[in-house]
Structure 1
Amino acid sequence: MTLEIPSLPYTTSALEPHLSAETVESHHNLQKAHLAQVNAAIEGTELAEAALQDIVRKAQGNLFNHASQAWNDAFYWASLKPAAGGGGGEPADKLADAITRTFGDFARFKAQFAAIAERTFGSGWLWLLQRGDGTLSIAATANAATPLTGDDTPLLACCLWEHAYYLDYRHARSKYVEAFWNIVDWRTVADRMK
């Protein structure tokens, strides 16, 4: 079975002005390149019929890096929604309640998320996670690392690789994270809760 990248759930320009069409297209093309590497590596192996998330959980080394990046990117794209289509704002209901219980309120959550993004060195990912006991946490992972290999449930991903923001924000990661809040699909994030 050849793994395929799902189409973006919106046009490449739909996230503007927060993420440009050029950034989205470039980033999505990198995701396709990662998946091409995965397909080449698993051909003729016991992983040839496996789902991408299963490959991430079983792989090591270069195969893990490519598979995890492809999975993380797919999760990231599904976490976003054009502002004109209802993206951004604040979470509601059970997600809002969980954020308030864990962080005090939404503003404190955003401030903590932004602070961790800013002090994360190099490339990686920033996640909102749900622990086994239902509480929430924020975690940064380096490079291609993913919570998919652990016990926590990922709810939201923010890509901290430069290709996710450099064309639009240069080295100003904080401006990218500030813009990120305008395109988060809080309904999808809430639907991922257990």
Structure 2
Amino acid sequence: MAFELSPLPYNYDALDPYIDSQTMQLHHDMHHQAYVNNLNAAVDKHPELQSKSPEDLVRELNSLPQDIVSAVRNNGGGHVNHTMFWQIMAPNAGGEPTGAIADAIKDNFGDFESFKTRFNDTGTKQFGSGWVWLVRTSDGKLEVVGTPNQDSPITGGHFPIMGNDVWEHAYYLKYQNRRAEYLKQWWNVVNWDEINNRLSMSTR
């Protein structure tokens, strides 16, 4: 298999009470695994692509063979997005941002509360399934954006620094239709150390 699902970096129940263990198990073991399986099935049709990373495939989406573009957009995007998602959460995390990301948020959004409000509002208003992101755009700016389905900001030339999954499978068992509450509680598990790493990567 060209691509594999990495284990969660913590136990299923590590993010309780903000994200429940059943959601984590289903989300990681079933949904993410399905994206990996479907991505492998797509790339299997074109062995010359098997040496590329998932990020490369998503970045070069428009140059891929036409018969697998949709599969890579949906499943390659799902794999890349979720791989980041597990890493930017952690137990005993959350709170105010620290380090370079704190300065970047202040410089670009005024203060952390203003940034959270914009991020949560974008996530709440994302129609249907999708994601809300903090990205470094292709021209070097930091912006909050939403994307539908499993579309990755990478396809548009942007670097995803952090993102929250607003598909119903990410929150419905615990929060039902209360997406705004899920978005609010999610800040309690945000791993600012990893987000600082990604901020640094975004400038390379």
Give the TM-score taking structure 1 as reference length. 0.93
Task: Confirm whether residue 75 of structure 1 aligns to residue 84 of structure 2.
Answer: yes
For residue 113 of structure 1, report the CA deviation from its aligned partner. Answer: 0.9
2:60 corresponds, among 36, 58, 61, to 58
Greater than 4 Å deviation, 4+ residue runs: none
Aligned residue for 1:92, secondary structure, equals coil
Whole-Å separation in 2 of the counterparts to 1:63 and 1:91: 33
String of CA shifts for 1:38-96, please: whole Å, max 9, x gaps.
1122115121222111222234112321111111111111110112xxx1011112211
Structure 1 letter corresponding to 2:41: A
- Structure 1 gaps of 5+ residues are none
String of CA shifts for 1:92-151, please: whole Å, max 9, x gaps.
122111101111100111111111111111100100112355532100000111111123
Question: 8 Å contact 1:98–1:135 — kept in the other structure?
Answer: no
Question: 8 Å contact 1:4–1:35 — kept in the other structure?
Answer: yes
- Structure 2 gaps of 5+ residues are 62-68
How many residue pairs align between the two structures? 191
Whole-Å separation in 2 of the counterparts to 1:90 and 1:135: 22
As a proportion of its length, which structure holds more helix?
A: 2
Task: Confirm whether residue 33 of structure 1 aligns to residue 34 of structure 2.
Answer: yes
RMSD: 1.4
Where in structure 2 are the equivalents of 1:1-194 lying within 5 Å? Answer: 1-28=1-28, 29-45=30-46, 46-59=48-61, 60-83=69-92, 87-132=93-138, 134-193=140-199, 194=203
Aligned residue for 1:90, secondary structure, equals coil
For residue 160 of structure 1, report the CA deviation from its aligned partner. Answer: 0.7
